[in-house]
Amino acid sequence: MKNRLQTLTLIFCISCISTKVTLYTGNPKLLVTDRIVLMPISKTDEERSIELFEWTKTYLQTGQNEIFYLKDIEYDLINKGISKKLMTEPKFSDSLAFLLHKHLNIDYLLFITVNSLKDGDSGYYFENELISLSQEKNTSIANITFLLVPSGINRTSHKFNITTKIAPLTKETKSGGEQRINWSNESMALSKAFMKGIKKIKKNMINNEI
């Protein structure tokens, strides 16, 4: 009985998750052989960035390509004459893209920008409060932009945005009000949004022959 209840709760929780994808330049279409460098991820500490890179590597590897994290190859690039200042510039640099292509045959640079993160709250609300109170206050939210920039000519940039919202569990109280239980946090919303974006890139990869 306990396992059944846990399963039903999990199914309900999953139904509380919504994700919106906004395409700016159409679906990303990379080749299965494209070599990709993931740039440092904004608004995340180094430990979380490495974790997200490992997810990226796991899902985007095809057996025919290679996925790099810029900080992992930083030392080698410095030895090849690429300045650390150039590698740490917050905005895209044509010079860096050219040098990555020249020295490592990189096809795409993947920039991931965490635009906003929000923890949802839990709480009890009276019936009269619910009239003007949306669930947004109790919802965990992550908004991320993915930008794939080619390092060579005759290739196209791809940009899209992912917004994931995790709504609270709700339960009506005896007084006619509502209890909202926030079972998630901004970190969970970030993970869901991030994986949605990475899986979208993988889903649209095409074979070189096509």
pLDDT tens by residue, the chain, 210 residues: 444 434 434 434 555 889 999 999 878 889 999 999 998 888 788 888 889 999 999 999 998 999 999 888 888 888 888 877 777 765 667 788 888 888 889 999 999 999 999 988 776 555 556 545 667 778 899 999 999 999 877 778 899 999 999 988 878 777 777 777 787 889 999 999 999 999 999 998 988 654
pTM listed for this prediction: 0.82
Q: Find out whether 194 and 112 touch, Cβ atoms under 8 Å.
A: yes
Q: Which two tokens stand for residue 161?
A: 């945005």
Please report the pLDDT score of residue 210 as a whole number.
43
Please report the pLDDT score of residue 171 as a whole number.
80
Q: Give dist(CA 1, CA 62) in Å, integer.
A: 42
What 77-82 contacts at long range (C-beta under 8 Å, 24+ apart), as own/partner pairs, is 77/103
Q: List C-alpha distances in Å: 2 to 7, 14, 16, 153.
A: 9, 18, 21, 58
**Domain spans in the chain, listed from the N-terminal domain onward:** 18-203
Please report the pLDDT score of residue 125 as a whole number.
57
Q: Which two tokens stand for residue 133?
A: 């109170």
**3 state SS of 23:** strand
Please report the pLDDT score of residue 137 as a whole number.
76
What 126-129 contacts at long range (C-beta under 8 Å, 24+ apart), as own/partner pairs, is 126/175, 126/176, 126/177, 127/175, 127/176, 127/177, 129/177
Q: Give dist(CA 145, CA 25) in Å, integer.
A: 12
Please report the pLDDT score of residue 12 as a whole number.
43
Single-letter amino acid code for the residue at 199: K
